[in-house]
């Protein structure tokens, strides 16, 4: 391999460049200056090939074919093939580079004294006594012991296959066991001793075991590799990578995991990576969750997948290699990965630290606000249960607060309070104006208002393609509603005696304005769903005193407030929200739409009755982005351009406003979140509905599984965010 200048190089064994460069050992600077110059250029081209292979995951054969095309693109004047010598040169160059970077040249024992894993780059994050731990670390308080945890991630890769090419006797390799791959001795005999055992998988759709003894493994020496890496820094551990003969069998993975932990305590918490967790059996899966396990911080356990993502393409280069050369190449590429991680650790840690600080502030304040809405005794009881869960060893026998069994929805009953109040008025001598009490009159009015909304939605949904049966049903419902409104209007004159006078005054005003040409009346509608009920909340404040009593206004205001709270509770407890059955999903969507419309109408009525005040900070304007199930994260903004893979790159969706009554445009379906979007769990913030003062904390709500589960998850998110700051 020769270089004519900086832009031209090729293969020509007969050239003077080639002969001069090949005189003596290319790796030694001996001989005349001109010869040393040629050797240096030859080494630079080997370095070029080495770096190209590391960055592109290409094979030496691909590089050699490139040189051939540069020499003779037509193939008419191709020199004798030197692919085999080049292959040997590259293998030796890789090995010598690893020895050099491992400082073997300063070791009197030389290459023979290199121990297992000595050429592997150790993870600086993993705690090692006497190396990166402070004095007295073993006396740290229990609350800070997680800072000295070893957090390992274990996974297999099935892209790095190897066919039955050559053998270990013909291709033993140069540095087997010196870096990341496990030495053959011991490993092969251990795996062979478990060859007849059957493996059991709890992973749904797990194909690694299903295809282990099928046609997919025929003709393969190795079906992939398994590895143990640091879950925090995503660096591969030395001598913790090994070939898999028949899929991801327990024997293979147990061996490399045993080499990683050495003599660590056998009481090891086992958790499942975030994206792997939904694919496993869900029974008691909370105790295997990263985000619910004490001391894990914001670790998601998916670092192993990032390692494989960067090295999957290497399978094309190593699939046809001999067993020894393949292991040397994999060692070299894993060392390059660790080196990149090591060099970028400063920027990575700073980025993680800033994100952790921001996330801690959000989650801690959110949990504090959530806790303040609960009775102190209830919060203390749940806190104790959560601490018992954190301290419990695996498998956990403590009570699981994160499980939700679902609740039945019930209407809030407050008529008993009104009935007691009216009874006291009658006992005190107040006259009974009508057999229908004032509170019952107002409850009936709100029921009519709900019926009008439902009928409007039904008529709107069947505007086109209405069958005769549907048209008949709609007409029947309108007749029933019209009769109810007429009956209610007869009672309205009793409790709103000044309404008729107000209506007459408004008609005169409209007539004068119409004659002046300044008023165009809206088109009349004979349908009962469009009839104005003239409730106190629909009137202007100065008209309240002249139309009805202050007690009627107070009753409507109280009913509206309770309606607001009830609607929020209904929306937050829709646990069937993610059901994929279209009928159930449409039913839940319809209920969510009705709840949102009812809340917005009730809030406008309360604003008219009470006016602006402190209550607005509790019963807020309901935005489209607030309408989501309790288990859903905040909606994502549609990304512009190429996005990264970190969760914090997902941004909150822009607030779309209340949309008045056009709530049918609200998309209530759960978003499909891919790997680039993250699960949203670690950075999820509860909707303000859950943090409303006095929300679902009395009576039967103290036993609300959903409320308790969401509070426990909120606490876990706050704790994990605080732990992440300390870990970084």
When divided into structural domains, the chain yields a total of 3
Tell me, yes or no, whether 436 and 289 share the same domain.
Answer: no
438 or 180, higher pLDDT: 180
State which of 293, 322, 343 marks the end of a domain: 343
447 or 195, greater pLDDT: 447
| Cα(422)–Cα(554) distance, integer angstroms | 13
Residue 324 has pLDDT above 70, yes or no: yes
Q: Give the pLDDT score at 314.
A: 92
pLDDT of residue 55: 92
Please give the residue that has the higher pLDDT: either 567 or 116: 116
Task: Determine the average pLDDT of the residues in 471-476.
Answer: 84
Stretch among 30-39, 209-218, 242-251 having the lowest mean pLDDT? 209-218
Where is average pLDDT lowest: 56-60, 240-244, 280-284, 581-585? 581-585
In this prediction, residue 206 carries a pLDDT of 44
pLDDT digits (tens, 9 = 90+) for 371-382: 888 888 988 999
Query: Do residue 21 and residue 157 come from a single domain?
Result: no
DSSP states of 23-55 = SS-TTS--SSHHHHHHHHHHHHHHHHHHHHHHH
Lowest average pLDDT, out of 104-108, 521-525, 722-726, goes to 521-525
In a domain, 640, yes or no: yes
Q: What is the sign of the dihedral through the CA atoms of 185, 188, 192 and 198?
A: positive
The verdict on 97 and 214 lying in the same domain is no
> Is 621 a residue whose pLDDT tops 60?
yes
Q: Provide the mean pLDDT of the chain.
A: 75
pLDDT of residue 575 exceeding 50, the answer is no
Higher pLDDT residue, 265 or 380? 380
Asked if 423 and 550 sit in the same domain, the reply is yes
C-alpha torsion angle, residues 113, 114, 116, 118 (rounded to 10): 140
Residue 235: band (very low, low, confident or very high) from pLDDT cuts 50, 70, 90: very high
For residue 330, the SS3 value is: helix
% of the chain at pLDDT higher than 90: 12
Q: For residue range 581-592, list pLDDT tens digits in order.
A: 445 455 556 667
Does 88 share its domain with 165? Answer: no
- In this structure, is residue 209 part of a structural domain? yes
The structure's pTM equals 0.63
- Residue 8 bridge partners (DSSP): 5
Range scoring the smallest mean pLDDT among 144-158, 183-197, 293-307, 411-425: 411-425
Where do we find the tokens 């093939």?
81
In a domain, 524, yes or no: yes
pLDDT at 44: 75
Domain that holds residue 70: 2-101
Where does the pLDDT of residue 28 fall: very low under 50, low under 70, confident under 90, or very high at 90 and above? Answer: low
pLDDT above 90 for 535: no
- Same domain for 203 and 74, yes or no, is no
Predicted pLDDT at 295:
87
66-80, 376-390, 560-574, 589-603: least confidently modelled range: 560-574
Q: In the numeric block, which tokens belong to residue 2? A: 């020769």
Evaluate if residue 673 carries a pLDDT over 70: no
> Among 504-508, 520-524, 695-699, where is mean pLDDT lowest?
695-699
Lowest mean pLDDT segment, chosen from 333-347, 615-629, 654-668 = 654-668
Task: Match 């004095």 to its residue by tokens.
Answer: 135
303, 242: one domain = yes
Would you place residue 633 in the very low, low, confident or very high pLDDT band (cuts 50, 70, 90)? low
pLDDT, greater one: 183 or 589:
183
**Is residue 323 pLDDT above 70, yes or no?**
yes
User: Do residues 570 and 595 lie in contact, with contact meaning Cβ atoms separated by under 8 Å?
Assistant: yes
Going by C-beta distance under 8 Å and a sequence separation of 6 or more, which residues neighbour residue 12?
A: 2, 18, 71, 79
The pLDDT-based confidence of 214 (bands split at 50, 70, 90) is low
Residue where one domain finishes, among candidates 314, 343, 372 = 343
Q: Which two tokens stand for residue 301?
A: 């356990």
Given a cut of 90, whether residue 343 has pLDDT beyond it is yes
- Answer whether residue 722 is part of any domain: no
What pLDDT shows up at residue 331?
93
Domain edge (last residue) among 343, 370, 403: 343
Q: Is residue 525 part of a domain?
A: yes
Nearest to 386 by CA among 367, 373, 369: 367
Mean predicted confidence (pLDDT) in 127-152: 89
Q: Is residue 646 part of a domain?
A: yes
Read off the pLDDT band of 352 (50, 70, 90). Answer: very high
Q: Are 86 and 158 found together in one domain?
A: no
* Cα gap 456→452, rounded to integer Å: 6
Residue 406: DSSP 8-state: -
Nearest to 66 by CA among 41, 80, 49: 49
Which comes out higher in pLDDT, residue 350 or 666? Answer: 350
Residue 512 lies in a domain: yes
- pLDDT confidence bin for 561, thresholds 50/70/90: confident
Cα 226 to the center of its chain, rounded Å? 25
Q: Name the phi and psi angles at 282, rounded to 5.
A: -90, 0
Higher pLDDT, 606 or 689: 606
Q: Are 658 and 682 in contact (CB under 8 A)?
A: no
Please identify which residue in the block is written with the tokens 């007690």.
Answer: 551
Assess whether pLDDT exceeds 70 at residue 52: yes
- Report yes or no: 720 and 682 within 8 Å, Cβ to Cβ: yes
Angle between helices 33-56 and 83-101 (to 10 degrees): 90
Who wins on pLDDT, 661 or 147? 147
Same-domain pairing of 508 and 448: yes
Within-domain flag for 373: no
Give the C-alpha separation, 322 to 419, whole Å.
Answer: 89
Nearest C-alpha neighbor of 233 from the set 121, 134, 325 = 121
Residue 507 shares a structural domain with residue 573: yes
Strands of 201-341, DSSP E? 220-222, 224-230, 236-244
Residues near 114 by beta carbon (within 8 Å), at least 6 away in sequence? 99, 102, 104, 107, 175, 178
Q: Which pair of structure tokens corresponds to residue 544?
A: 């309240």
Residue 335 has pLDDT above 90, yes or no: yes
Same domain flag for 63 and 168: no
Least confident span in 152-156, 365-369, 684-688: 684-688
**For 216-235, what is the mean pLDDT?**
86
Inform me whether the pLDDT recorded for 356 exceeds 60.
yes
By CB atoms closer than 10 A (0-12, 13-18, 19+), residue 14 is exposed
Same domain, 62 and 148: no
């Amino acid at each position: 391999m020769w270089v004519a200048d900086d832009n031209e190089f090729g293969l020509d064994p007969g050239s003077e460049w080639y002969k001069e460069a090949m005189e003596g050992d290319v790796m030694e600077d001996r001989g005349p200056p001109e010869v040393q110059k040629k050797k240096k250029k030859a080494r630079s081209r080997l370095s070029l090939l080495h770096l190209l292979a590391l960055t592109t995951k290409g094979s030496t054969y691909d590089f050699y074919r490139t040189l051939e095309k540069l020499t003779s693109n037509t193939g008419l004047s191709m020199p004798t093939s030197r692919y085999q010598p080049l292959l040997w040169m590259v293998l030796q160059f890789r090995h010598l580079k690893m020895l050099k970077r491992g400082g073997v040249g300063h070791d009197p024992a030389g290459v023979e004294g290199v121990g297992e894993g000595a050429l592997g780059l150790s993870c600086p994050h993993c705690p090692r006594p006497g190396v990166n731990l402070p004095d007295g670390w073993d006396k740290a308080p229990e609350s800070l012991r997680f800072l000295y945890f070893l957090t390992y991630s274990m996974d297999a890769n099935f892209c790095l296959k190897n066919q039955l090419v050559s053998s270990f006797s013909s291709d033993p390799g140069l540095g087997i066991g010196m870096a990341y791959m496990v030495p053959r001795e011991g490993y092969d005999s251990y795996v062979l001793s478990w060859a007849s055992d059957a493996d059991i998988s709890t992973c749904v759709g797990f194909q690694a075991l299903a295809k282990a003894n099928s046609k997919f493994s025929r003709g393969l020496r190795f079906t992939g590799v398994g590895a143990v890496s640091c879950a925090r820094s995503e660096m591969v551990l030395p001598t913790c990578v090994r070939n898999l003969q028949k899929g991801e069998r327990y024997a293979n993975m147990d061996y490399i995991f045993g080499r990683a932990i050495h003599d660590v305590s056998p009481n090891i918490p086992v958790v499942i990576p975030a994206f792997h967790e939904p694919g496993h059996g869900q029974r008691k899966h909370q105790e295997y969750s990263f985000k619910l396990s004490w001391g894990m911080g914001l670790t998601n356990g998916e670092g192993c997948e990032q390692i494989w993502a960067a090295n999957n393409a290497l399978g094309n280069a190593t699939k046809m290699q001999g067993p020894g050369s393949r292991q040397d190449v994999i060692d070299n590429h894993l060392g390059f990965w660790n080196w990149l991680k090591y060099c970028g650790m400063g920027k990575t840690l700073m980025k993680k630290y800033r994100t952790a600080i921001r996330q801690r502030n959000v989650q801690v304040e959110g949990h504090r606000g959530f806790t303040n809405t609960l009775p102190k005794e209830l919060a203390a009881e749940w806190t104790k249960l959560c601490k018992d869960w954190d301290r419990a060893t695996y498998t956990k026998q403590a009570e699981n607060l994160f499980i939700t069994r679902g609740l039945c929805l019930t209407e809030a009953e407050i008529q008993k309070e009104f009935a007691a109040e009216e009874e006291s008025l009658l006992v005190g001598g107040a006259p009974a104006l009508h057999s229908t009490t004032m509170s019952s009159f107002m409850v009936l009015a709100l029921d009519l208002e709900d019926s009008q909304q439902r009928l409007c939605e039904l008529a709107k949904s069947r505007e086109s393609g209405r069958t005769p049966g549907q048209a008949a049903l709609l007409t029947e419902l309108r007749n029933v509603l019209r009769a109810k409104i007429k009956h209610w209007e007869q009672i309205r004159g009793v409790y709103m005696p000044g309404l008729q006078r107000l209506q007459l005054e408004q008609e005169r005003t409209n007539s004068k304005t119409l004659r002046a040409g300044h008023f165009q009346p809206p088109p009349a509608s004979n349908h009962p769903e469009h009839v104005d009920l003239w409730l106190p909340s629909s009137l202007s404040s100065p008209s309240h005193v002249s139309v009805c009593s202050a007690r009627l206004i107070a009753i409507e205001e109280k009913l509206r407030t309770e309606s607001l709270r009830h609607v929020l509770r209904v929306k937050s407890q829709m646990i069937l929200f993610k059901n994929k059955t279209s009928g159930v999903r449409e039913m839940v969507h319809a209920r969510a739409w009705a709840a949102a419309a009812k809340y917005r109408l009730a809030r406008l009525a309360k604003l008219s009755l009470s006016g602006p005040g402190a209550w607005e900070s509790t019963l807020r304007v309901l935005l489209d982005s607030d309408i989501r199930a309790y288990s859903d994260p905040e909606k994502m903004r549609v990304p512009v351009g190429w996005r990264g893979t970190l969760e914090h790159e997902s941004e909150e969706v822009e607030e779309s406003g209340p949309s008045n009554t056009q709530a049918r445009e609200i998309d209530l379906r759960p978003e499909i979140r891919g790997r680039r979007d993250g699960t949203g769990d670690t950075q999820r913030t509860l909707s303000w509905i859950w943090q409303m003062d006095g929300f679902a904390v009395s009576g039967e709500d103290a036993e609300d599984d959903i409320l308790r589960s969401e509070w426990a998850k909120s606490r876990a998110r706050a704790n994990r965010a605080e732990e992440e700051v300390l870990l970084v």
